[in-house]
């Protein structure tokens, strides 16, 4: 049994030319035997840096929180680096989905739902390939009970019906929600999602140095690529002139995008698509 810990992340304005608001959903997959050891490892690292026991570890800590007030760079970067390294040591895997609402034209709610669909598909296919099952634990939505009920209802449909591409037999229950301040793994999911969406948005002043530690956690496709699998950036279609497919090259350093289970490969950066020559100038 495995547990996927999920969190969302939003970047209101991107630094890359032509991109709008970026919404993302992502998280970490942890094998059952690693749950307690990973919790202990993260808590011990936090203690080393003086973080109070009940303090929530976040990529963007709330103003007035202990981390915001007391843990500044380079110490914060060292702390988060050690936490991400501990994740790797405990065989944690990651998936992050990003949706450029400026290009897709989706509302924030619809963009979030589409991200959930992509996440569910990639998690399910990874579990299927390894003949594994999982539960999903998510941070409780911040909009109150109505938003939480809507989120649970939408995800329940996925657990019951699957999507066009995956059957609903690898995720065993509807998503479970809980406040993230109580679960160290959810706090790690926040770091993974937050760092990744920041880098995809081109805001890598702080995230850039930590992203290589996140990148090695991403699940891969059969040929070994992350693009479109561990990290999905929408839109990335080879049929859309506004496709962000070339960001896989600039963000991940990959030269191929594999599709169809690895049956087809597109060379990156692709001609006639944005960001062919540069990761910031479309």
What confidence tier does 159 reach under pLDDT thresholds 50, 70, 90? confident
pLDDT at 144 over 60: no
pLDDT at 109 (0 to 100):
83
Q: Could you give all domains of the chain from N- to C-terminal order, each with its CATH number? A: 2-219 (3.30.420)
Strand, helix or coil for residue 244: coil
What confidence tens digit (pLDDT) does each residue in 162-187 have?
787 887 789 988 888 888 888 999 99
Euclidean distance between CA atoms 166 and 92, whole angstroms: 23
Of 6, 199, 263, 225, residue with least CA distance to 118: 6
pLDDT at 209 over 70: yes
pLDDT at 1 (0 to 100):
94
Alpha-carbon torsion angle 1, 133, 9, 115, nearest 10: 180
State percent of the chain over pLDDT 90. Answer: 71
CB burial of residue 153 (10 Å; 0-12, 13-18, 19+): exposed
What's the pTM? 0.94
Average pLDDT over residues 197-208: 96
What confidence tier does 139 reach under pLDDT thresholds 50, 70, 90? confident
pLDDT at 145 (0 to 100):
60
Average pLDDT over residues 26-39: 97
pLDDT at 116 over 70: yes
Tokens of 7: 């969190």
pLDDT at 125 over 70: yes
Give the 3-state DSSP-derived string for 118-164, with helices as H, strands as E and coil as C: HHHHHHHHHHHHCCCCEEEEEECCCCCHHHHHHHHHHHHHHHHHCCC
Average pLDDT over residues 114-123: 92
* Average pLDDT along the chain: 91
Residue listed under structure tokens 């990744």? 196
């Amino acid at each position: 049994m495995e547990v996927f810990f999920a969190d969302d992340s939003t970047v209101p304005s991107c630094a890359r030319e032509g991109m709008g608001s970026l919404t993302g959903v992502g998280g970490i997959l942890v094998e059952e035997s690693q749950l307690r050891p990973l919790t202990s490892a993260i808590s011990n690292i936090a203690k080393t840096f003086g973080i109070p026991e009940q303090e929530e570890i976040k990529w963007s800590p709330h103003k007035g929180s202990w981390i915001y007030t007391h843990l500044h760079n380079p110490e914060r970067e060292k702390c988060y680096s050690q936490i991400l390294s501990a994740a790797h040591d405990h065989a944690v895997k990651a998936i992050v989905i990003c949706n450029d609402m400026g290009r897709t034209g989706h509302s924030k709610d619809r963009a979030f739902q589409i991200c959930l669909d992509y996440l569910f598909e990639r998690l399910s296919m990874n579990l299927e390939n390894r003949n594994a099952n999982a539960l999903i634990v998510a941070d409780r939505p911040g909009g109150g009970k109505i938003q939480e009920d809507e989120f649970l209802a939408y995800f329940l449909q996925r657990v019951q019906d699957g999507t066009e591409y995956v059957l609903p037999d690898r995720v065993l229950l509807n998503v479970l929600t809980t406040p993230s301040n109580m679960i160290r793994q959810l706090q790690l999911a926040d770091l993974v999602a937050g760092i990744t969406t920041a880098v995809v948005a081109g805001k890598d002043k702080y995230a850039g140095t930590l992203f290589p530690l996140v990148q090695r956690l991403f699940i891969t496709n059969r040929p070994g690529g992350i693009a479109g699998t561990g990290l999905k950036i929408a839109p990335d279609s080879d049929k859309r002139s506004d496709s962000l497919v070339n960001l896989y090259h600039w963000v991940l350093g990959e030269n191929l995008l594999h599709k169809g289970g690895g049956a087809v490969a597109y060379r990156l950066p692709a001609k006639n698509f944005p960001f062919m020559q540069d990761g910031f100038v479309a």
